[in-house]
Structure 1
Amino acid sequence: MEELRSTLNEHIDVVSEIFDNFSTGIRSGFQPAYVNFLGFFHAIDWKEPWLIGLLSFHFLLLLTVIFSRKNVNFQAFLSFFSFSAVYLAERINRFLGVRWKMFARQNYFDSHGLFISTLWSGPLLIILMIIVVNTLVTSCKLIIQWKRAELRHRAKLTRNKED
């Protein structure tokens, strides 16, 4: 019994050491990403009217998705619109990169598309995920209703055969 206890303690020590090394590696790996994110966040002038409009657009689209969750056809339209907007993000980035002086104080539209991916495509993809989850929940509810109706129908048929 003592041998089993010592073996178990050694195993716990090894797992603990592996976990410590893993968590240290993760924390040090996320540190540069966090610093880069903060640099990106602070480099943006959040008081620019077009950025406020963009964020308002995403917020209104999110509210529209939430309030129209029971209208499947409208949700399909919103998902098509959002997919199209994400698909066109590269072209939008190029278009706005050429014309940024008309509406912004600085050029946010780099050739890699980091800004447009973060502030245009990112929120749209999150909204799309909400639409997909809503569609799955609605589909599950419909399947449950259909199956219950089928079971009621079978029970009724069985009762009619017995009478």
Structure 2
Amino acid sequence: MEDLKSAIRDHVDLVSALLEKLSGELRSGFGPAVDNFVGFFHAINWKEPWLICLILFHVTLLLVVIISRRNVNFQLCLSLLSFSGVYLAERINTFLAKNWKSFAGQNYFDPHGLFISVLWSGPLLLLSMLIMVNTLITLCQLIIKWKRAELRHRARLSRDKQD
């Protein structure tokens, strides 16, 4: 019985220590996350030509998504291509880590893939989400048109029956 009580006390102490740690982290707020982001941002040389081209690629892709917002089939293809880019990010990261000296001033491509995730996969996923939201809006508008046409058709049928 005494062993059970001590095990329960140890468990309660462990849970209270975890709660104290969690509350301490919550009290510190977003400060550590902001510090990490600022450190990441300053560690990158944004004037490297390949980084500028990568950013221009994402901006161009965003403009293509916005311009083609009425063409659902084209956007489906864009979405598949962007998901393919995200899927291949690990292989791209490995390839670029081996060949970084030929195009970059420093090796940004760590084994965990943080850099490629933030600057390659992140924007592609955001564009895919934008395409998905646009597709949902288009589908909602299509459902509204279909329902209105159905109601007009029913009204015509009921009018024809009365005549």
Scaled by the length of structure 2, what TM-score is found? 0.84
Cα separation, 2, equivalents of 1:75 and 1:151: 31
Quote the offset at 1:25 in angstroms. Answer: 5.3
Quote the offset at 1:26 in angstroms. Answer: 3.7
Cα separation, 2, equivalents of 1:45 and 1:140: 44
Cα separation, 2, equivalents of 1:133 and 1:25: 34
Aligned pair in 2 of structure 1 residues 24, 144: CA closer, same or farther (>3 Å)? farther
Match of 2:98 in 1: 98
Match of 2:147 in 1: 147
Q: After superposition, what is the alpha-carbon deviation per residue over 1:22-70, rounded to whole angstroms, capped at 9, x for unaligned?
A: 9985451421111111111000000000000000000000000000000
Match of 1:158 in 2: 158
RMSD: 1.5
Match of 2:127 in 1: 127
Cα separation, 2, equivalents of 1:71 and 1:27: 47
Aligned pair in 2 of structure 1 residues 106, 26: CA closer, same or farther (>3 Å)? same
User: Within 5 Å, which residues of 2 pair with 1:47-66?
Assistant: 47-66=47-66
Residue 83 of structure 1 aligns with an amino acid whose one-letter code is: F
Q: Can you give the 5+ residue segments of structure 1 that lack an aligned partner in the other structure?
A: 1-21
Residue 73 of structure 2 aligns with an amino acid whose one-letter code is: N
Residue 70 of structure 1 aligns with an amino acid whose one-letter code is: R
Q: After superposition, what is the alpha-carbon deviation per residue over 1:65-100, rounded to whole angstroms, capped at 9, x for unaligned?
A: 000000011001100000000000000000000000
Cα separation, 1, equivalents of 2:105 and 2:86: 24
User: Within 5 Å, which residues of 2 pair with 1:1-163?
Assistant: 26=26, 28-163=28-163
Aligned-pair identity in percent equals 70
- Runs of 4+ residues deviating >2 angstroms: 22-27
Residue 36 of structure 2 aligns with an amino acid whose one-letter code is: N
Cα separation, 2, equivalents of 1:27 and 1:144: 48
